[in-house]
A and B are shown apart, each in its own frame.
Chain A
Amino acid sequence: MKKQTSLVIGLAAGGIAVAAGLLAALGHLPVWAAELVAVVMFPAFVIFIALWWNAKPGEEDIPFIGY
């Protein structure tokens, strides 16, 4: 996976979770559904953002699988 991909996935996951929270607050989405979205998206958000900021700027794959 490339550094850019990781950032996009992480931000998308965070964005979806925030959007679901807002929709629930405005009453367009049941609260349990927003919670479910947050539960699914939060791990992706945490892990992909961390993978993005620890990746080197080069072209190599992250997480590096090797040796």
Chain B
Amino acid sequence: MIEYLLFATFIGLLFHGIHRKVIARVQGRPGPPIWQEILHTLKFSFKETWIPKTASQTLFVGIVFVAIAIWSGALFILLSGGSILLLFAVYLLHKIVEHGMGLSTGSPYTKFGAIRSVISAASELPLLVTVVAIYFFTRSLSIADIAAYQEVHGPLLILAFPAAVAMYLVILSKMHYGPFSIIEAKEIVSGNMTEHFGVWRAALEVAYALKTYVLLYAFVLIFIGSLPLALTLLVMLLVLVSLSFVCAVTPMLSPYDTVTIQTLVTGALVIYILILGVVMG
């Protein structure tokens, strides 16, 4: 079991490195080597580690455990063909992790990150309407059933294209250096991660690597179907590179603009679902 987690962590970190490399190349910079994020994680794990004296110690440490645990759980939900509603739950819990990380330290920068994370809660709504739109087609929320449906009817990427766009936006809003990553904007140092350094930061990098892997894998499973592992990884890489292009050419939005865009997308999808409801009965 643990070998899946180690594999996903490794690939996720590699994806983060590729993400940075693609952004750099699009912007005309040489960029770091693609294994940079793996080195980064190891570097953090060797740095001196302590708990800030102002922090709520239990929460400060506990939230790091929760961060890794929820995304490990999400990976197993995907692998065992579980419910995408549970995946949605993990996504919402990630929001709690962001709040908890920011609030637990007492630092004003992390607190700003946490407050921005409250504001960016609008990013959950596109995911919810994606779930509902998929339910309209498949009449089931289990990933195994969705994959079976796609074997018969073709990929949902074509059948339910607007839902795929919404899910793409959801993944985009969780990417580093993206237009929606306001919680880790540089004007608030590192946002909610500012005070988690050393081992805590290394562990968070592991959690984020798992998160990137899980979200990309979920996109492939839900909208394209179950493919052989090598092909899945290739498609995930393609999705990632397209996301990197978006991140490279868009500036970071202001916090309220992110809410506006995500809410507009949600609104558009609600209309799409209403039309689906009328057409498909």
* Residues of A that sit less than 8 Å from B by CB: 14, 17-18, 20-21, 24, 31-32, 34-35, 37-47, 50-51, 53-54, 62-67
Interface status of B51 (Cβ within 8 A of chain A): yes
A39 to chain B, nearest CB (A): 5
A31 touches B203 (CB 8 A): no
Task: State the main secondary structure of chain B at its contact with A.
Answer: helix
Query: Which of B4, B48, B66, B203 touches A46 (beta carbons < 8 Å)?
Result: B203
A31 touches B2 (CB 8 A): no
Interface code B176-205, partner A: CB below 8 Å = 1, 0 otherwise?
A: 000000000000000000000011101100
Among A14, A35, A45, A46, the one with the most B-chain Cβ atoms within 10 Å of its Cβ is A46
A38 touches B2 (CB 8 A): yes
Interface status of B45 (Cβ within 8 A of chain A): yes
B199 touches A50 (CB 8 A): yes
Number of A-B contacts (CB under 8 A): 86
Residue of chain A at shortest CB distance from B76? A35
B279 to chain A, nearest CB (A): 38
Distance between Cα atoms of A7 and B73 in the complex (Å): 24
B46 touches A64 (CB 8 A): no
Distance between Cα atoms of A17 and B57 in the complex (Å): 27
Given contacts A65-B51, A66-B53, contact A42 B199 (CB under 8 A): no
Query: Which of B48, B49, B53, B72 touches A43 (beta carbons < 8 Å)?
Result: B72
Interface residues of B in 214-253 (CB under 8 A from A): none
B198 to chain A, nearest CB (A): 7
